[in-house]
């Protein structure tokens, strides 16, 4: 979802990418170089390597961007290490990268880490790195400035790669960079699917410098290495990596070698594996650097732990050859010995050397269609949860709400529980592609529309739980058949609209029996009806007469003398705007807000038309119009009275009670829903035209209701845009496109809503005036600047003291920024905004739930922390 929202930013990346590819298409076409944590619209070329890096925003959905402490930002530190992406939430977080050359292609994949005290804790975390479902390595950094790189060579089994970071209980995982380098298919061919780099050495280096891209077209990193006691030989001639050699070895690495002084002495080296059972593959690279005379010969045999490995072998002059074994080796010590043959009069040589460790790969895999279907469901609902990587594997990280069957290969998804997941919109049809599904729980959401008949294609489905989705439409006959013949249990209850559709009503009677409403759901239903009746009764007593008899429009219309009476002759003024004064009034003992318009604002006809429209609009997040008066030049609107002030007052510094992050997100969701209703629930759609914090009213439960439809203009649906003569709205909230063109669409409200979200996040005024230059700065500029530094905590209202979910905050900022896209077509519609903001709310609630456990743990450890008493001396 967020991907869609961020289209605009990505467009910029792609433009940058497109340009960079033009410049150097040949060299980096097989590269994907990701600078993790870098802001999403910046890409750059590394000044030393010339490699183009892009941001990671497109490849991961979670985590927060952080910059390292300036203490560790040395002049020689590559730019990739300036920022990291940190994952404070969730046990497993993944990057998913779809590569242009995917399935079956071989890649070198490199992850780099430098802690740089980015979190101010002064202690590098310890965590695990996974390649898809297989453990790759543990990341253990010795100090703040140490840099670790982990590399694998991997022939991709699927078109996309998943790299995951997994917590081990020692701090939040993070990552600095992630790089992909396409290798030739014929290089590094072994029996093992996943090879982790152990050593890659440029032996006999005379420069003592690390070699990588541009010297190495595949951007392998070669470390200089010199054995004591061996002689270095080198050439200034060019070493050809050879047509038959697919390794594309860098010339500078191959143009130096080691050899023995004494031709009869063997050339030897060895290493001691940490784990004697670890399996290794070795790749030995040779090229002779000496032009041999007729009477000279260089020929040697290679032994591994005294056993024959390869030979007799004579390296070609200035041509690279690679020797390796396809079978892995292991042992307490792994020793290599090159011994010249009796007929040879020159000593053995070695130019370069690579050692890889075999990573165990799990044979189990999940059905590709199931994976695809779940990925679609995930993006359809914009689900976060822990839904990352493979849905069923590893078994310890199965996606929440899923059950899988591991009896068959590939694994299948057998149960999907999306109960209470805050789902809105229709039922995702992709669910019908989970063909082994037996149990499907969609209860306690806000799903709407008909139940897709495709679900009847799930032949194993035994239980379908649809309870408590008040707006769900009809159940298709195919499913009803299954329910009737007993092969499927459909649970319903709390589905007010379920039988509202015509097809449903026609056959209503035959449906009553087969739908199995469990006893508990029936009870819930009965209880709900009872509560409903009680509430309805209460309301009926409390509410003013006009609302109940809403079928008779005349009753809404009051005379001016009635208005005078109900306001006690305009005794209590509760507000005043450019167009109207607002007074407190009483209608049948209920408080109402009486808005007296300054007469010249609208023509009488227009006024009446608009009022009729407004009287039809009822939504919990909109202030209801309950009546009006239209006598001579007196134009009066009567609204329900919302008693807890407006959002602007609650956000402003003067208010003692600081709104919590959860409250803010709830208010944002409420307001978004109100606006969504105006845009998508009303026919014709209504553009508010003056969305701002002062127009968001709060009731005693801090539920938000949008007010002031005074500027609303209904406009025809056939032409989505409408040219208005006067551009109206409030400065700072005004859509610049609307301002420039005069064309008004719903997207103008979306822009204003973006500004509103920023207000909610920051509690700052929309326009700030620089005292020195008296220039005015818009809140969005300020936020954008801070976003680039990755510092979310200084964006959010400081009074919250960091007490909020970071990803929730990031997401909220991102939503706001997409709403603020200059081009209105880039802005999301309010449906999307509602969905995204609901996720922000969900993330914050999830954090709060977690924190309950966390706080308990924390209080237990406080007694062991003696420092506290040292720093707080008691006053006597
Ligand atoms: C980035 O995301 C967009 C969709 O939002 C996708 O089309 C594009 O392929 C992605 N870019 C890369 C490099 O994966
Ligand atoms: C690191 O230093 C460079 C200048 O040498 C500066 O441009 C960059 O912003 C610094 N990065 C961080 C994260 O502090
Ligand atoms: C790479 O080689 C393997 C066999 O070694 C083959 O199965 C695979 O299809 C090849 N991939 C490509 C992209 O050529
Ligand atoms: C950090 O650790 C590395 C080894 O990983 C070491 O070479 C380096 O000197 C250490 N730096 C500091 C500042 O301790
Ligand atoms: C490289 O290191 C070797 C010893 O390891 C040293 O003898 C040689 O001078 C160094 N070369 C350069 C160019 O620094
Ligand atoms: C050369 O090496 C062989 C075998 O290790 C040894 O027997 C011989 O003494 C060595 N010669 C010299 C001059 O060191
Ligand atoms: C090889 O032949 C050259 C002359 O072409 C001679 O100088 C050299 O000693 C010979 N080397 C050996 C090992 O016989
Ligand atoms: C090479 O010489 C060694 C002794 O120096 C001998 O044991 C071996 O059999 C010889 N090999 C060949 C192939 O002549
Ligand atoms: C489905 O999820 C809901 C909410 O997470 C939970 O209450 C319910 O027990 C789950 N159902 C099953 C069968 O696990
Ligand atoms: C549920 O969905 C309906 C329409 O699909 C919408 O009118 C209503 O506001 C939604 N309610 C919540 C709580 O999301």
The answer to the question of residue 858 being in a domain is no
Q: Both 512 and 577 in a single domain?
A: no
Name the residue with the closest Cα to ligand 1, atom 8.
Answer: 58
User: Tens of pLDDT along 668-685?
Assistant: 999 999 999 889 888 778
Of the residues 383, 414, 417, which should be mutated to test ligand 9's pocket, given the most ligand atoms within 8 Å of the CB?
417
What mean pLDDT do residues 252-276 have? Answer: 92
pTM of the model: 0.59
User: HEC states along 346-415?
Assistant: ECCEECEEEEEEECCCCCCCECHHHHHHHHHHHHHHCCCCCCCCCCCCCHHHCCCCEEEECCCCCEEEEE
Q: Which atom of ligand 6 is nearest to the CA of 266?
A: 5
Domain end: 299, 333, 358, which one? 358
Give the whole-angstrom CA distance, residue 348 versus residue 267.
7
Domain end: 585, 606, 640, which one? 640
Name the residue with the closest Cα to ligand 9, atom 10.
Answer: 417
Q: Both 93 and 234 in a single domain?
A: no
Instruction: Residue 782: give its domain's CATH number.
Output: 1.10.510.10
The answer to the question of residue 857 being in a domain is no
Name the residue with the closest Cα to ligand 3, atom 10.
Answer: 104
What pLDDT score was predicted for residue 100?
A: 87
User: Tens of pLDDT along 392-424?
Assistant: 988 888 898 999 998 888 899 999 999 999 899
List, in order, residues 6 or more apart from 862 with CB less than 8 Å away.
868
Of the residues 104, 153, 183, which should be mutated to test ligand 3's pocket, given the most ligand atoms within 8 Å of the CB?
104
Q: Both 635 and 651 in a single domain?
A: no
Q: Both 354 and 494 in a single domain?
A: no
Instruction: Express as a percent the part of the chain with pLDDT over 70.
Output: 82
Residue 719 belongs to domain spanning: 647-852
Q: Both 393 and 340 in a single domain?
A: no
Q: Which two tokens stand for residue 372?
A: 């695809």
Query: Which residues sit with their C-beta closer than 6 Å to ligand 5?
Result: 207-208, 226
Q: Both 743 and 697 in a single domain?
A: yes
Q: Residue 26, SS3?
A: helix
Instruction: Residue 272: give its domain's CATH number.
Output: 2.60.120.260
What mean pLDDT do residues 338-347 have? Answer: 94
| Nearest bound ligand to the CA of residue 846 | 9
Q: Quick one: CA torsion of 271, 273, 274, 276, rounded to 10 degrees? A: -140
Ligand 2 center to 71 CA (angstroms): 10
Q: Which atom of ligand 3 is nearest to the CA of 155?
A: 1
The answer to the question of residue 264 being in a domain is yes
| pLDDT(538) > 60 | no
Name the residue with the closest Cα to ligand 10, atom 12.
Answer: 446
The answer to the question of residue 13 being in a domain is no
Give the whole-angstrom CA distance, residue 750 versus residue 830.
7
More confident residue, 584 or 873: 584
The answer to the question of residue 190 being in a domain is no
Q: Both 353 and 374 in a single domain?
A: no
Domain end: 497, 518, 539, which one? 518
| pLDDT(322) > 80 | yes
Residue whose token pair is 């939430």: 89
Question: How many structural domains are present in the chain?
Answer: 5
Residue 323 near residue 311 (C-beta atoms within 8 A): no
What pLDDT score was predicted for residue 573?
A: 85
Residue 750 near residue 827 (C-beta atoms within 8 A): yes
Q: Which atom of ligand 5 is nearest to the CA of 205?
A: 1
The answer to the question of residue 329 being in a domain is yes
Cβ of residue 471 lying under 6 Å from some atom of ligand 10: yes
Other Cβ atoms within 10 Å of 727 Cβ, number: 16
Cβ of residue 417 lying under 6 Å from some atom of ligand 7: no
The sheet carrying 573-576 orders its strands as 573-576, 580-587, 590-597, 634-640, 625-631
327 is in an annotated binding site: no
What's the length of the chain?
876
**Positive/negative CA dihedral, 789, 842, 54, 181:** positive
User: Tens of pLDDT along 504-517?
Assistant: 443 333 333 233 33
User: Tens of pLDDT along 431-449?
Assistant: 999 999 999 999 999 998 8
Q: Residue 276, SS3?
A: coil
What mean pLDDT do residues 460-468 have? Answer: 91
Give the whole-angstrom CA distance, residue 519 versus residue 444.
17
Instruction: Residue 488: give its domain's CATH number.
Output: 3.80.10.10
User: Model confidence at 644, in pLDDT bands (50, 70, 90)?
Assistant: confident
| pLDDT(12) > 50 | no
Q: Both 636 and 651 in a single domain?
A: no
Instruction: Residue 568: give its domain's CATH number.
Output: 3.30.200.20
Name the residue with the closest Cα to ligand 2, atom 13.
Answer: 82
Catalytic residue among 216, 288, 690, 708: 690
What pLDDT score was predicted for residue 535?
A: 38
The answer to the question of residue 536 being in a domain is no
Residue 727 near residue 739 (C-beta atoms within 8 A): yes
Ligand 10 center to 637 CA (angstroms): 27
Q: Both 656 and 621 in a single domain?
A: no
Name the residue with the closest Cα to ligand 5, atom 1.
Answer: 208
User: Model confidence at 851, in pLDDT bands (50, 70, 90)?
Assistant: low
| Nearest bound ligand to the CA of residue 264 | 6
390 is catalytic: no
Q: Quick one: CA torsion of 728, 732, 736, 742, rounded to 10 degrees? A: 0
List, in order, residues 6 or more apart from 8 with CB less than 8 Å away.
818, 821, 823, 826
Q: Which atom of ligand 10 is nearest to the CA of 449?
A: 5
Q: Both 302 and 426 in a single domain?
A: no
The answer to the question of residue 525 being in a domain is no
What pLDDT score was predicted for residue 160?
A: 85
The DSSP symbol for 119 reads T
Q: Both 312 and 405 in a single domain?
A: no
Of the residues 204, 208, 256, which should be mutated to test ligand 5's pocket, given the most ligand atoms within 8 Å of the CB?
208
User: Model confidence at 858, in pLDDT bands (50, 70, 90)?
Assistant: very low
Average pLDDT of the residues of the chain: 81
Q: Both 561 and 680 in a single domain?
A: no
Q: Residue 818, SS3?
A: helix
């Amino acid at each position: 979802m967020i991907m869609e929202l961020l289209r605009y930013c990505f467009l910029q990346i792609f433009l940058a990418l497109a340009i960079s590819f033009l410049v150097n298409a040949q060299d980096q076409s097989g590269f994907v170089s990701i600078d993790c944590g870098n802001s999403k619209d910046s890409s750059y070329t590394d000044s030393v390597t010339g490699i183009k890096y892009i941001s990671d925003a497109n490849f991961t959905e979670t985590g927060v961007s952080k910059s390292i402490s300036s203490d560790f930002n040395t002049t020689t530190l590559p730019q990739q290490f300036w920022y990291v992406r940190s994952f404070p939430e969730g046990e497993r977080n993944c990057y998913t990268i779809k590569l242009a050359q995917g399935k079956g292609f071989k890649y070198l994949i490199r992850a780099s880490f430098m802690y740089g005290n980015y979190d101010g804790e002064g202690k590098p975390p310890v965590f695990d790195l996974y390649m898809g479902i297989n453990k790759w390595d543990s990341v253990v950094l010795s100090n703040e400035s140490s840099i670790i790189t982990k590399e694998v060579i991997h022939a991709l089994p699927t078109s996309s790669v998943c790299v995951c970071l997994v917590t081990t209980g020692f701090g939040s995982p993070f990552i600095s960079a992630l790089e992909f380098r396409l290798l030739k298919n014929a290089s590094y061919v072994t029996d093992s699917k996943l090879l982790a780099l152990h050593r890659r050495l440029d032996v006999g280096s005379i420069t003592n410098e690390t070699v990588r891209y541009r010297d190495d077209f595949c951007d392998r990193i070669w470390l200089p290495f010199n054995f004591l006691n061996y002689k270095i030989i080198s050439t200034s001639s060019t070493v050809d990596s050879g047509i038959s050699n697919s390794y594309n070895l860098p010339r500078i690495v191959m143009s130096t070698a080691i050899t023995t002084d004494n031709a009869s002495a063997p050339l030897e080296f060895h290493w001691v594996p940490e784990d004697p059972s670890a399996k290794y593959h070795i790749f030995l690279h040779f090229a002779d650097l000496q032009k041999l005379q007729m009477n000279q010969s260089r020929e040697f045999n290679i032994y591994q732990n005294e056993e024959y490995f390869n030979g007799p072998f004579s390296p070609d002059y200035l041509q690279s050859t690679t020797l390796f074994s396809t079978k892995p080796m292991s042992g307490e010590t792994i020793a290599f010995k090159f011994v010249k043959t009796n007929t040879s009069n020159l000593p053995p040589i070695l130019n370069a050397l690579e050692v890889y460790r075999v990573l165990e790969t799990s044979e189990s895999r999940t059905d590709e269609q199931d994976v695809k279907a779940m990925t679609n469901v995930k993006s359809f609902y914009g689900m976060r949860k822990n839904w990352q990587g493979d849905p069923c594997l590893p078994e310890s990280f199965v996606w929440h709400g899923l059950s899988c069957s591991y009896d068959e290969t590939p694994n299948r998804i057998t149960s999907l529980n999306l109960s209470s997941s805050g789902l809105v919109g229709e039922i995702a049809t992709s669910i019908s592609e989970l063909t082994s599904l037996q149990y499907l729980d969609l209860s306690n959401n806000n799903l709407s529309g008909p139940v897709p008949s495709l679900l009847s294609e799930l032949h194993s489905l035994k239980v379908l739980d649809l309870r408590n989705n008040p707006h769900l439409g009809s159940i298709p006959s195919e499913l009803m058949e299954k329910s009737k013949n007993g092969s499927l249990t459909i649970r319903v209850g709390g589905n007010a609209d379920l039988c509202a559709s015509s097809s449903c009503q026609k056959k209503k009677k035959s449906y009553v029996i087969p739908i199995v409403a469990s006893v508990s759901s029936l009870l819930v239903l009965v209880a709900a009806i009872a509560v409903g009746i009680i509430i309805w009764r209460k309301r009926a007593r409390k509410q003013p007469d006009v609302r109940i008899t809403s079928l008779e429009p005349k009753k809404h219309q009051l005379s001016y003398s009635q208005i005078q009476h109900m306001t006690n002759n305009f005794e209590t003024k509760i507000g005043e705007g450019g167009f109207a004064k607002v007074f407190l009034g009483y209608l049948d003992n209920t408080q109402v807000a009486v808005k007296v318009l300054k007469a010249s604002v609208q023509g009488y006809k227009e006024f009446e038309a608009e009022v009729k429209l407004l009287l039809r609009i009822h939504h919990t997040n909109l202030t209801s119009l309950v009546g009006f008066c239209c006598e001579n030049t007196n134009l009066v609107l009567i609204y329900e009275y919302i008693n807890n002030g407006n959002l602007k007052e609650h956000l402003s510094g003067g208010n003692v009670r600081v709104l919590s992050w959860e409250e803010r997100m709830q208010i944002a969701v409420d307001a978004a829903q109100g606006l969504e209703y105006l845009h998508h629930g009303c026919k014709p759609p209504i553009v508010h035209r003056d969305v701002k914090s002062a127009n968001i009213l709060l009731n005693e439960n801090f539920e938000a209701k949008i007010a002031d439809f005074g500027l609303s203009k209904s406009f025809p649906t056939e032409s989505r845009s409408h040219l208005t003569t006067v551009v109206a709205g409030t400065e700072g909230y005004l859509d610049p496109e609307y301002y420039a063109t005069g064309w008004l669409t719903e997207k103008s409200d979306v822009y204003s809503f973006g500004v509103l979200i920023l207000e909610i996040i920051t509690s700052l005024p929309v326009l700030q005036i620089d005292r020195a230059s008296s220039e005015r700065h818009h809140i969005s500029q300020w936020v954008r600047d801070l976003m680039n530094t990755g510092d979310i905590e200084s964006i959010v209202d400081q009074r919250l003291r960091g007490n909020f979910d970071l990803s929730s905050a990031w997401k909220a900022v991102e939503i706001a920024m997409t709403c603020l896209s200059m081009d209105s077509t880039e802005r999301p519609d309010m449906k999307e905004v509602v969905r995204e903001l609901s996720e922000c709310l969900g993330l914050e609630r999830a954090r709060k739930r977690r924190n309950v456990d966390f706080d308990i743990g924390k209080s237990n450890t406080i007694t062991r922390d003696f420092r506290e008493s040292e720093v707080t001396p008691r006053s006597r």
